[in-house]
A and B are shown apart, each in its own frame.
Chain A
Amino acid sequence: MSFFQKYVDLHYKNFLEALQRIKQQPVGNLMTIVVIGIALALPTGLRVMVNNLSMISESWNSATDFTVYLEMSIDEKSANDLARDIEQRSGVGDVVLITREEALADFQEYSGFGEALDTLGENPLPHALIISPADGANSNISELAKTLNAMEETNLVQFDTAWIDRLRSILELTLRVVDIVTVLFGFGVVVVIGNTIRLEINNRQDEIEVTKLVGGSNGYVRRPFLYSGLWFGFAGALIAILIIWGILGLLSSPARSVAQLYESGFRLIGPNFKETLALIGMGTFLGWAGAAVATIRHLRDADPE
């Protein structure tokens, strides 16, 4: 057997032995794994949530429509002409005319002021144009709005996308918070696993001592513990994935109802394949790191020298 083969063989043995040892104390170790799973699921879940929110706000990106209310004096024909005219301008995607009659009907139906409006006798609403900018024309929108506002026929240009910007910056901020939470919980996972491995080292002090006395190197003694940590992290990541998909499953139906109310095709999106792999990789790495910290600190204590 070559040296390399021996080495691989030894690692494989440690790898399986570590799993075996975890299985020997299923209840206690399962609890540890669930704690790790929750600690990993929280930041990942928050990230998934923020991703979903950004996805919604993304879909609003093209929806920076604005409404132009025309003067009361403009009749339907002129309004129609004006709509056609604006449609020709650069940066304008689509123009929809909402006549005052349509607006009133909508208002009566949805506002709950139907009867109150009846007492007015006369329709107080003007014709309105809903203007959707052409794709990628974002920079021209405010320019366009200004021009339209200056026209004689227009009374008011309602141009309100500020709240989307506000939402985006809140999401941006939330993402920062998620980053911090991720680091904190990652650290927490390292501590939890480090502590678990520390207890295991204490339990196996005799074994470590004997192994060292018969000539086991520190690397040899450490390896099973590192693999234990690795398994804890890996199993914790799997639990985290289960937790996240479980929560998404619970939320998907209410989210669909909300989306339907807004006539949106929005669906909750879980972590994709790459993100799932990243979570597993991260969990495994943190497990290894926790074990590494514990072994560096505590195997020295066990040194017979």
Chain B
Amino acid sequence: MIRFENVGKRYASGREALSGASFHIEKGDMAFITGHSGAGKSTLLKLIALIERPTRGTVLVNNQNTSRISRRKIPYFRRQIGIVFQDHKLLSDRSVFDNVALPLLIGALKSREVSRRVRAALDQVGLLKFENNSPLTLSTGEQQRVGIARAIVSRPELVIADEPTGNLDPELSLEIMKLFERFNQVGVTLLIATHDVELIDKLQCRRLQLESGRIVESSQSSSHGDSM
């Protein structure tokens, strides 16, 4: 699903965020990227979503070489990927329902189909009863779950998450991770960046350790979702 081949990323400022990172994540995998802040976790995810382009090496996502995807095609490429952000990136001027519906409106689905899918996604994260609320009235954990519902509402095969539990206490964090596991069980490939090592020790998942721009450890503790 995701293959990095000797990928390097140097920002215009001269900072080298990634230098020669290589790894492969199979379809149906659930994997974590760990490392200190500044180790290059966010950059790695940005390269997958084509928010940034690598300065060196090849990034393949779903068998597409991302360097061949033109600027104009990027939106269509991104529609295959669900993205969860640390700061949720919810729009406070619209309801929970409308936030989750956003990726579907782009595709111009019939409004009945949109409602059905949005409610299904909200149900999966357990927030159906808040569909008409403003995101501002929800707790941080609930807001993050709205963000997750938005990421999965268009049923992407791949979901990437950048520090999805960064602002949450351990209990809520575990809850979110359990949610991700459930998606993984139905075949979604997940790549989650986190610095919370304690949390992922509780989960039996593959771990990619990033240190100063390189993958220094790739442990496979379990084979979650490999059968999918």
Question: Which chain A residues have a beta carbon within 8 Å of chain B's beta carbons?
Answer: 1, 6-7, 9-10, 206-207, 209-218, 220, 304-305
Complex: chain B residue closest to A7, CB-CB:
B108
Given A210-B89, A305-B51, A305-B53: A216 and B110 interface contact (C-beta under 8 Å)? no
The yes or no answer to B52 lying at the interface (CB within 8 A) is yes
Q: Separation in Å of the A190 CB from the closest CB of chain B? A: 26
* A220/B51 contact (C-beta < 8 A), A213-B83, A214-B83, A215-B75 known: no
Of all chain A residues, the one with the shortest Cβ separation from B49 is: A213
Nearest opposing residue in chain A for B79, CB measure: A215
Binding site for A on B (CB under 8 A): 49-53, 71-72, 74-79, 83, 89, 91, 93, 102-103, 106, 108, 110, 150, 154
Which residue of B is nearest A210, CB measured? B89
Known: A7-B108, A206-B89, A214-B83. A305 touches B74 (CB 8 A): yes
- Whether the pair B53, A206 counts as a contact (CB closer than 8 A) is no
- CB-contact partner of A207 in B51, B71, B83, B91, under 8 A: B91
Q: Which partner residue on chain B sits nearest A219 by CB separation?
A: B75
* Cα separation A9 to B112 with both chains bound (whole Å): 14
Given A212-B75, A215-B76, A215-B78, A305 and B89 contact (CB-CB distance below 8 Å): no
CB <8 Å contact, A304 and B51: yes
Closest chain B residue, CB of each to CB of A214: B103
**Across the interface, do B78 and A214 meet the contact criterion of CB distance under 8 Å?**
yes
Can you name 20 A-B pairs with beta carbons within 8 Å?
A: A1-B110, A9-B108, A10-B108, A206-B91, A207-B91, A211-B102, A212-B78, A213-B49, A213-B51, A214-B103, A214-B150, A215-B78, A215-B79, A215-B106, A217-B72, A217-B75, A217-B76, A220-B75, A304-B51, A305-B74
- The verdict on A210 contacting B91 (CB below 8 Å), with A220-B75, A305-B53 known, is yes
Contact assessment for B102 and A214 in the assembled complex, using a CB-CB cutoff below 8 Å: yes
Taking A213-B78, A215-B75 as contacts, is the C-beta distance between A305 and B50 under 8 angstroms? yes
Chain A residues in 8 Å Cβ range of B71: 305
Q: Which of A7, A9, A207, A214 contacts B106 (CB 8 A)?
A: A214
Give the residues in chain B near A215, CB-CB below 8 Å.
Answer: 75-79, 103, 106, 154
Residues of B within 8 A of A218 (CB): 75
Q: How far is the CA of A215 from the CA of B103 in the complex (A)?
A: 7
A216 adjacent to B89 (CB under 8 Å)? no
Min C-beta distance of B42 to chain A, whole Å: 12
The CA-CA distance from A211 to B94 in the complex, in Å, is 13
Chain B residues within 8 Å of A6, by CB: 108
Residue from the set A9, A10, A214 with the largest chain B CB neighbour count within 10 Å = A214
- Contact of B75 with A216 in the complex, beta carbons under 8 Å: yes
Measured CB to CB, the closest approach of chain A to B43, in angstroms, equals: 13
Most buried by A among B77, B79, B108: B108
Bound together, the chains give a CA A7 to CA B78 distance in angstroms of 20
In the complex, chain A residues whose CB is within 8 Å of the CB of B83: 213-214
Residue of A at shortest CB range from B147? A210
List residues of chain B with CB within 8 A of the CB of A211. 102, 106
